[in-house]
Structure 1
Amino acid sequence: MWKGKSTHGIMKQDGEINFSKLEQQIDSAVEADKMYWIRNEAKIRAVNNKVASYEEFEDIVKASHLKPLEKGDRISDIKVFKQPWNINSGSESGSQTTSSKSTEIANNSVDNVIQFNRVWKRQCKNSLEQFNFLTELDCSKIHHIFQAEIAMGLLGEFVSVLHDHYQVEKSETVANILYTFTKCGRFDLSLMFLSQEEKKCLSKVMNSLSNDWNSKNVSQLKEVYKIDP
């Protein structure tokens, strides 16, 4: 199992084994092995079901580790929300060009804060492009990018964009994104510095989500964002 693995950090200078490092490497290896078999089963299932395209096959494999959100689930018990299916369905024909452009941007390599900010502040020409760019990113990628911290003021920008271009068909996507932010670094600090206008926008988005998606889970999300019911 450990063939070819580096032992750097496992052995201390005095020759003793660093059991904490060893345990971390074992946990990582176990998780990687578990993920391999989950994805392998998803591939077999997709082939047996004769999926219509490679894109559909790829989506099934990517989502193999995710579990559907049930009505009885508590939001605090869910590590990562299920990314919604077909998030572009029902889009207005007038925004197809903008959506297509932002999809192309989102499909580019955006793996860190610097790359995200370059797209968010420079490549996106308006708030609608920012909305499409944000809602077309996987929540796991959003969490990865902002795991260390959400830069000051950026949460307010996200809230304003989600409010200004909120769409019923993307309600689950918006809820996933808002939940993901709560798991990012310095979320509480970013929340404290929302302006009054941004707080109003956030409250309106939450109310829309209660009507369009899952009121029970949204009520718990409101608690995290400190929004009065």
Structure 2
Amino acid sequence: MSVSHDDDHFDFNKLERELKAAVTADEKYNRENDAKLRAVHQKVASYDEFKEIVKASHLKPLEKGDKIEGKFAQPWNMHADKKKHVTDSKDSETNEEKTRVPQNSLEFVREWRKLSLDKKYHFLIEIGPEKLENIFKPEIGFGLLGDFLLVLLEVSQEELHIVLNILEGFSRTNRFSLSVQFMSSKEKEACEKLFKRIEDLNEWSDRITSLRSLYGLIK
């Protein structure tokens, strides 16, 4: 009776590598799936932001006992270094006061979330209608259009024409009608109040009438 020697030639190392690869792939799938669910729950403003959250799902925050590798030089003159730190802080504050124009909706949302109501209004005005339209050309993320309308209620009489141009720019973005449909009743009320203020610009009544229709307002 012959005895099979297949077991003698079985590659256990290969089996172990395949098992590790399968476990790693399974962990990656679960990790990214959890990140997707978190992104949906947080109602991210754009698909780009959604992708960034999923892409960073493997990152973990530093624990209390974690050590950072590397050498740190001791300053030879601590007093001089302290003065430099104060100067750097002032420069930093000056730079923060300047408007940083976002290049896309993801950068915009990051800045937007840091600002108070009055600063949000100035943020929109300083960026301007043309750049805002370019930033949100792909689409205005769900919820943002309503935020914009509430913030733009702060408009002064002198800046009504700028707000009119901003509203027109938003209306030319992709899937704008979908953004209008997702506005809450409070946001729709803000929209109506804003248009009543803009109607003071009598010389542009035709533009305003057209815009009212695009924003779902019937007069």
| Band the TM-score falls in, shorter-chain normalisation | 0.5 to 0.7
Aligned-pair identity in percent equals: 30
For the residues of structure 2 that align with 1:209 and 1:102, how far apart are their CA atoms? 33
One-letter code aligned to 1:156: G
When the two chains are superposed, the root-mean-square deviation of aligned CA atoms in Å is 2.0
Alignment of 1:211 onto 2:200? yes
For the residues of structure 1 that align with 2:186 and 2:207, how far apart are their CA atoms? 24
One-letter code aligned to 2:196: N
Match of 2:157 in 1: 168
C-alpha deviation, 1:212, in angstroms: 3.7
For the residues of structure 1 that align with 2:132 and 2:95, how far apart are their CA atoms? 16
Q: Deviations over 1:47-98 (max 9, x none)?
A: xxxxxxxxxxxxxxxxxxxxxxxxxxxxxxxxxxxxxxxxxxxxxxxxxxxx
For the residues of structure 2 that align with 1:175 and 1:111, how far apart are their CA atoms? 22
Aligned residue runs from structure 1 range 14-53, under 5 A: none
* SS of residue in 1 equivalent to 2:179: helix
One-letter code aligned to 1:210: E
Aligned residue runs from structure 1 range 1-150, under 5 A: 104-106=97-99, 108-122=100-114, 124=115, 126-150=116-140
Gaps of 5+ in 1: 1-100
Aligned residue runs from structure 1 range 187-198, under 5 A: 187-198=176-187
For the residues of structure 1 that align with 2:96 and 2:200, how far apart are their CA atoms? 27
Q: Measured at CA, do residues 135 and 109 of structure 1 come closer, stay the same or move farther in structure 2, by a change above 3 Å? A: closer
C-alpha deviation, 1:136, in angstroms: 1.2
Moved over 3 A (4+): 101-105
For the residues of structure 1 that align with 2:146 and 2:107, how far apart are their CA atoms? 19
TM-score, normalised to structure 2, is 0.53
Question: Contact 1:143 / 1:180 at 8 angstroms: preserved in 2?
Answer: yes
Question: Contact 2:177 / 2:214 at 8 angstroms: preserved in 1?
Answer: no
TM-score, normalised to structure 1, is 0.51
Question: Contact 2:105 / 2:136 at 8 angstroms: preserved in 1?
Answer: yes
Q: Deviations over 1:120-170 (max 9, x none)?
A: 112x1x11100000011132211211111111100000011112x121111
C-alpha deviation, 1:177, in angstroms: 0.6
C-alpha deviation, 1:114, in angstroms: 1.7
Alignment of 1:224 onto 2:214? yes
Report the structure, 1 or 2, having the larger helix content. Answer: 2
